[in-house]
C-alpha cells in the first residue's frame, strides 16, 4: 500500500520540521510512502528552511514539486540523508520537478574538517536501491551529492549550482563500497571535481571506512567549472580496488590559470603504503570528452592503472594531454583523440599543476626553471614502467608562439616501456615528435602511418629502441642516429615520414658491433629510392651467427 503525505498539512517551527513530520507520519504506515513538498514554503521567500537534515527512512519517495529547501544559518548539517545509517536503508528516492532546489547556504555554515561529510548537501549512506533526479543542488559548503556504500543507485537529470565561494564544492562523489551505479544527465556549475568515483579509506570524506567499487557508468555531463579542478576522476587503493568504470559524453568550460587536470586517474597524495597496484585500479574507459580552452593538463595519471582507455577526447589545453609520473601503466589505449596545445611559453607545458605534482612525489629535478629545455611532452611517460601503450587515429597540434621546446611524445630517463604502438597519428607543429631520453628503455615499438608536418625533429632517440621478433615496425632513425638490434633473427624495419630532403636516396649498410668476434654476412634487400612506408629487410645469412648488428641510415 502506498501512502502519500503533504508537508503543507503538518505544523512545525520551520519548513524542515514540517517535512520531517510528514516523513515520520508516512513511515508509520506499512508499505511505500510518498511525501510531497510544494513550491510555497512557510519561510522567507516561500522557502522551506531546514535547521537540521531531513532524514528519510526506507521505502520513502520525497517529491519536491518546485520546492526550495534552504539550510539555516549555522545548521552545519546535510539537507537530506537517510535515517538508518548503521543498519542501512532501501528504496529511497528524491525526485524533483519544476524548479526544485536544494540550497546549502555555504557561507553561513561552519566546516569541521573531522566530519566534512556533514557539510554535503545530500548524503545517502548504506542504501540499497536509490535514486536522485530532477533537482538542483547547491551551492553547498562542500560536495553537493555523495553516495556512499550503495548498490543499485541512479542519479538522473541533476543540476549542480555551486558558486565557488567555499572550497571543495564538488558535484557528485561515489564513495566505496559501491556497485551498479548509473549517472546520467549532469549539468550546471561545480567548484571542484564534477564527478568522482573513490574507493579509498577516509573518515573525513565518508561515514564508513572504504570498500571496492565496481560497475559505475557516468554519461552526459556538461558543466561549467567555477574554480580550477576537474571533470572526472577515479581513486583506488590496494585494500579497496576499483574496476569497470565508464564515463562518456562529458563537456566542461571554465577554470582558472591554476588549474588541475580535467581528467584525473588516481590520487597522487594517497600515500605509498596504500597506493594501488595496477590490478587494484583497472578497466576504466573515458570517451567523448570536450574541453573549451582548459588552462591545465587534459589527463593526469596519479596512480598505477591497468586497462585505461581514452577515446574521442577533443578541445584545447595548456598542459600535457596525457601525463604519468612514477605511476605504472599496464595497458593504455589513446584512440581518436584530437586536441590542440594552446597558451604561451614558458608555462605551456610547465604549469602550477605540474609543479605541484613533481613536489608531491619529491622529484629531485626542478623543471620549472628550465621550461624549454626539458618540458614534458604532449604525451609524457615519466619514471614509470609502462606496458602496451597504444596511440591510434589521433591528432595533436600546437597553437603557441614558440613551439621549439615542445615534444609530441616524450619518454623520460628512468622509464621502461615494453610495447609502444603509434598508429595513424599526427603530431603537428611541435619541436620534436617522439623523443626517448638517455636512460630510458623502450622495447617492442610499432609505428605506422605517423605524420609529423611542421615538426623540427620527427624522431629523436638518445637511447636505443630494442625490437624483438618479426613484424615490429619502429620508426628508423635518420642521419647520425642508430638503431641497435640483437642478431640471430629476422628483423623488419619500416621507414615512415621520411623528410623530402632525404627521401630520394638513403643508403643502408649493416655493420657488426666491435668487438665482432667473427665475420658476419648480411643481406640487405630493397635498397634504393626510399618512399614513405618502404619496408627494409635485414637478414643474417648464417644460422649460427652471433653478436649484434647495428643498422646505420645515412642520408646520401
| Per-residue model confidence as pLDDT tens digits over 40-57 | 999 999 999 999 999 999
For residues 500-511, average pLDDT:
42
pLDDT of 335 above 60: yes
H or E element that contains 53? none
For residues 218-246, average pLDDT:
93
CB of 452 closer than 8 Å to CB of 432: no
Domain residue extents for the chain: 484-556
pLDDT band at 551 (very low <50, low <70, confident <90, very high): very low
What is the structure's pLDDT at 491? 46
What is the structure's pLDDT at 32? 87
Note the pTM of the prediction, 2 decimals: 0.82
pLDDT of 493 above 50: no
The closest of 302, 299, 212 to 250, measured between CA atoms, is 299
What is the structure's pLDDT at 550? 46
pLDDT of 146 above 50: yes
pLDDT of 3 above 70: yes
Summarize pLDDT for 198-209 with one digit per residue, the tens.
Answer: 998 766 566 777
> What does the alpha-carbon distance between residue 2 and residue 32 come to, in Å, rounded to a whole number?
5
Summarize pLDDT for 341-383 with one digit per residue, the tens.
Answer: 987 544 445 445 555 554 544 343 443 333 334 566 899 998 8
Q: Is 114 left (phi over 0), alpha (psi -120 to 50) or beta?
A: alpha
DSSP class per residue in 411-476: E-TT-EEEEEEEES-EEES-SEEEEE-TT-EEEEEEEES-B-TT-SEEEEESSPEE--STT--PBP
For residues 253-274, average pLDDT:
77
pLDDT band at 467 (very low <50, low <70, confident <90, very high): very low
pLDDT of 529 above 50: no
For residues 166-179, average pLDDT:
94
Percent of the chain past pLDDT 70, that is, above it, reads: 73
What is the structure's pLDDT at 257? 57
Task: Identify the weakest region by mean pLDDT among 425-429, 471-475, 507-511, 545-549.
Answer: 471-475
Q: Is the C-alpha dihedral spanning 83, 88, 91, 93 positive or negative?
A: positive
> What does the alpha-carbon distance between residue 69 and residue 16 come to, in Å, rounded to a whole number?
8
For residues 179-195, average pLDDT:
96
pLDDT of 104 above 60: yes
The closest of 142, 82, 137, 76 to 109, measured between CA atoms, is 76
> What does the alpha-carbon distance between residue 175 and residue 198 come to, in Å, rounded to a whole number?
5
What is the structure's pLDDT at 159? 98
Q: Is 13 left (phi over 0), alpha (psi -120 to 50) or beta?
A: alpha
Mean pLDDT of the chain: 81
> What does the alpha-carbon distance between residue 289 and residue 313 come to, in Å, rounded to a whole number?
5
Q: What are residue 48's DSSP bridge partners?
A: 69
CB atoms within 10 A of CB 30: 9
Summarize pLDDT for 387-396 with one digit per residue, the tens.
Answer: 999 999 999 9
DSSP label at 513? Answer: P
Amino acid at each position: 500500500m502506498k501512502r502519500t503525505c503533504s508537508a503543507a498539512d503538518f505544523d512545525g517551527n520551520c519548513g524542515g520540521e514540517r517535512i520531517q513530520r510528514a516523513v515520520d507520519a508516512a513511515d508509520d504506515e506499512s508499505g511505500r510512502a510518498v511525501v510531497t513538498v510544494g513550491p510555497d514554503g512557510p519561510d522567507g521567500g516561500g522557502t522551506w528552511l531546514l535547521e537540521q537534515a531531513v532524514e528519510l527512512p526506507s521505502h520513502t519517495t520525497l517529491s519536491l514539486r518546485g520546492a526550495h529547501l534552504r539550510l539555516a544559518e549555522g545548521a552545519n548539517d546535510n539537507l537530506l540523508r537517510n535515517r538508518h545509517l548503521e543498519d542501512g536503508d532501501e528504496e529511497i528516492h528524491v525526485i524533483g520537478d519544476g524548479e526544485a532546489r536544494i540550497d546549502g547556504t555555504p557561507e553561513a555554515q561552519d566546516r569541521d574538517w573531522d566530519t566534512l561529510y556533514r557539510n554535503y548537501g545530500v548524503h545517502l549512506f548504506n542504501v540499497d536501491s536509490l535514486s536522485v533526479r530532477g533537482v538542483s543542488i547547491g551551492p553547498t559548503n562542500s560536495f553537493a551529492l555523495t553516495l556512499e556504500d550503495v548498490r543499485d543507485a541512479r542519479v538522473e537529470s541533476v543540476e549542480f549550482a555551486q558558486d565557488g565561494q567555499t572550497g571543495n564544492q564538488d558535484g557528485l562523489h561515489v564513495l566505496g563500497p559501491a556497485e551498479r551505479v548509473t549517472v546520467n544527465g549532469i549539468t550546471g556549475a561545480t567548484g571542484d571535481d564534477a564527478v568522482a568515483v573513490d574507493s579509498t579509506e577516509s573518515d573525513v570524506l565518508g561515514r564508513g571506512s572504504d570498500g571496492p567499487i565496481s560497475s559505475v557508468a557516468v554519461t552526459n555531463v556538461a558543466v561549467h567549472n567555477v574554480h580550477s579542478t576537474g571533470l572526472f576522476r577515479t581513486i583506488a587503493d590496494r585494500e579497496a580496488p576499483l574496476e569497470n568504470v565508464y564515463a562518456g559524453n562529458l563537456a566542461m568550460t571554465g577554470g582558472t590559470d591554476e588549474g588541475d587536470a580535467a581528467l584525473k586517474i588516481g590520487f597522487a597524495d594517497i600515500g605509498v603504503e596504500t597506493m594501488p597496484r595496477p590490478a587494484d585500479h583497472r578497466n576504466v574507459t573515458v570517451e567523448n570528452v570536450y574541453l573549451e580552452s582548459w588552462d591545465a593538463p587534459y589527463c593526469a595519471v596519479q596512480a598505477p592503472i591497468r586497462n585505461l582507455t581514452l577515446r574521442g577526447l577533443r578541445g584545447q589545453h595548456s598542459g600535457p594531454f596525457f601525463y604519468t609520473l612514477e605511476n605504472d601503466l599496464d595497458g593504455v589505449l589513446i584512440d581518436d583523440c584530437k586536441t590542440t596545445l594552446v597558451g604561451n611559453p614558458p608555462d605551456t607545458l610547465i604549469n602550477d599543476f605540474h609543479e605541484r605534482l613533481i613536489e608531491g612525489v619529491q622529484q629531485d629535478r626542478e623543471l620549472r626553471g628550465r621550461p624549454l629545455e626539458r618540458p614534458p611532452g604532449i604525451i609524457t611517460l615519466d619514471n614509470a614502467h609502462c606496458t602496451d601503450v597504444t596511440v591510434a587515429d589521433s591528432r595533436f597540434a600546437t597553437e603557441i608562439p614558440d613551439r621549439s621546446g615542445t615534444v609530441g611524445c616524450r619518454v623520460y630517463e628512468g622509464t621502461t616501456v615494453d610495447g609502444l604502438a603509434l598508429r595513424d597519428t599526427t603530431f603537428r607543429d611541435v619541436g620534436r615528435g617522439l623523443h626517448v631520453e638517455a636512460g630510458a628503455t623502450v622495447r617492442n615499438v610499432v609505428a605506422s602511418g605517423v605524420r609529423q608536418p611542421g615538426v623540427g625533429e620527427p624522431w629523436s632517440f638518445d637511447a636505443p629502441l630494442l625490437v624483438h621478433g618479426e613484424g615490429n615496425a619502429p620508426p628508423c632513425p635518420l642521419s647520425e642516429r642508430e638503431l641497435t638490434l640483437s642478431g640471430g633473427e629476422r628483423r623488419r624495419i619500416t621507414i615512415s615520414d621520411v623528410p623530402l630532403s632525404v627521401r630520394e636516396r638513403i643508403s643502408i649498410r649493416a655493420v657488426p658491433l666491435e668487438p665482432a668476434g667473427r665475420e658476419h654476412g648480411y643481406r640487405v634487400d630493397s635498397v634504393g629510392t626510399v618512399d614513405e612506408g618502404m619496408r627494409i629487410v635485414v637478414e643474417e645469412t648464417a644460422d649460427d651467427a652471433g653478436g649484434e648488428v647495428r643498422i646505420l641510415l645515412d642520408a646520401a
